[in-house]
Amino acid sequence: MKQRNLFLVICLFNLIGCTTPQPYTGEGNTSFAVMAYYIPNDVFPPDQLPLDRLTHIIYAFSHVVDGEMAFRHQQNDLLLQNLVAQKTNFPDLKVMIACGGWGADGFSDMASTPHNREKFIRSTIAFVERYQLDGVDIDCQNPVNPTTGTRARPEDTQNFTALMKGLREALDQLDRPQTLSFASAGWEGYYDNVEVQKVMQYANYMNIMTYDQVVGTSPTTGHHTALGLIEMEDLAATTVLDTLDKYNPGFYPHSAEGIVKFLLDQGVQPQQMIIGGAFYGRAWKGVNPTNQGLYQANQGTHTGWLAYQKIRAEYENKNGFNRFWDPVAKAPYLFSPTERIFITYDDPESLKQKTIYAQEQNLGGIMFWQLSLDTPGEYGLLDAIWKEVEK
């Protein structure tokens, strides 16, 4: 009788396991992660990085080349080897590769058939073994929806799940633990095209890009990397609502707190969520000085992005620019009334607040794009993050 009862319990357990998606609980979900995306430059070469303040560093990027994971430029080979060599002094550091990025093509075709997925997965394992990496970050940023000329198809949703499943199974066959993550958007509509509960059975983390929430095509200026939950009534005292109703009906302000709440409602475990910080800002010219330029109509003069090291050196309370703090968005911004230039960005205070929030909410950690844009040494953005982690 005991054996029969045990058999029934096992059957019931297996049935539940088959019908209820469970999050991946392997290596990588037990401590607070500080993840840096990293593109090498002369200021931050691999042998001069603050690796003692990171748990993971994600080298960007490899690409899908002829259906396989590969570098498009040969110099990346030596740079990645040099980065991995730093583990001699930092043995606990996890070195990962990010495949894809904004505008990177090849994912839809690669994932479209079992044969194509298997080819890519084999090449990924060979890539990981060649460089002795600790994981893979998949940066297929817009499944189903084509961007900047990329190929996409409706089946991308299910094919992405199958790709992550295949990668998880293959990575788990290696002789050391592997972290599998993917870059996900900081706005709700993205998740219409991702089977998020299923994917999170295979991924350690989703790296939520809680930045670029306003860009050059946005109808108004705003916070591109806000932490605090912004409600529509918070905008009522500005002129932004008239502009939004005319040019972008259905608009809703985005934030890290907002997308975390949304994903918790979708069943994602907090320990699997990594929120993002921006080591760069975005700027507009010709901005109406009302409200120090915040939530003003976009005049079509978005000037692009600025590295934080440049913002710190030339604009933060310098050269006619004043820093302001939005207590609702929990984010800073700069404005020059003379130049009529508005800059939205992360600074040490906002990244401190993001780190505190991630810890209080038991999230998996914080990541940022990207390390080479920081101010070297103390009082930079990574320094602000790490001081909170060390407490």
pTM (2 d.p.): 0.91
Q: Give me the pLDDT at residue 3, please.
A: 41
Average pLDDT over residues 46-68: 97
Q: Give me the pLDDT at residue 6, please.
A: 39
* DSSP three-state, residue 200: coil
User: Taking 70 as the threshold, does the pLDDT of residue 126 lie above it?
Assistant: yes
Q: End-to-end CA distance of the chain, in Å? A: 54
Average pLDDT over residues 13-26: 50
Sequence spans of domains, the chain: 28-278+346-390
Q: What is the tens place of the pLDDT at every residue in 327-346?
A: 999 999 999 999 999 999 99
Q: Which residue has the higher pLDDT, 101 or 180?
A: 180
Q: Are strands 33-38 and 68-70 parallel, antiparallel or unpaired?
A: unpaired
Q: Give me the pLDDT at residue 27, please.
A: 53
Q: Which residue has the higher pLDDT, 30 or 70?
A: 70
Residue whose entry in the numeric block shows the structure tokens 């911004």: 333
Average pLDDT over residues 231-237: 76
Domain 28-278+346-390 part of CATH 2.40.400.10: no
Least-confidence region, from 29-43, 58-72, 202-216 = 29-43
Provide the 10 A C-beta neighbour count for residue 193: 17
The winner for highest mean pLDDT among 246-250, 293-297, 301-305, 385-389 is 385-389
Share of the chain above pLDDT 70, in %: 88
Q: Give me the pLDDT at residue 2, please.
A: 37
Residue whose entry in the numeric block shows the structure tokens 């430059």: 41
Average pLDDT over residues 189-202: 96
**Average pLDDT value for the chain:** 89
* DSSP three-state, residue 254: coil
Q: Give me the pLDDT at residue 1, please.
A: 40
Q: What is the tens place of the pLDDT at every residue in 21-51?
A: 567 766 555 589 999 999 988 888 999 999 9
Average pLDDT over residues 149-167: 94
DSSP state of 225: S
